[in-house]
Amino acid sequence: MDEGVNPAGVRRLGELGNVGTNAAVANAVYHATGRRVRRLPIRLSDLL
């Protein structure tokens, strides 16, 4: 068995590419709605 793969079959380095995802989604919500949400998760009630 490969030592660099977890039980789900994913290598450990995969999360490094996901660092900016939350910021990108928050920016997309801001551009679409005009409301800046600074906490996660972004819920519909935060936008109303």
Three-state SS annotation for the chain: CCCCECCCCCEHHHHHHHCCHHHHHHHHHHHHHCCCCCCCCCCHHHHC
pLDDT of 43 reads 93
The pLDDT score that the predictor gives to residue 19 is: 75
Q: What is this structure's pTM?
A: 0.60
Q: Which pLDDT does position 10 carry in this prediction?
A: 72
The answer as to whether 2 is a domain residue is no
Within a domain: 38: yes
Per-residue pLDDT, 12: 65
In a domain, 22, yes or no: yes
Residue 28 belongs to a domain: yes
The pLDDT of residue 7: 76
* Residue 43, domain member (yes or no): yes
**Number of independent structural domains in the chain:** 1
Residue-number span of the structural domain to which 27 is assigned: 12-47
Q: pLDDT per residue over 1-48, tens digit each?
A: 556 677 777 776 666 667 788 899 999 999 999 999 999 899 999 888
Report the SS3 class of residue 6: coil
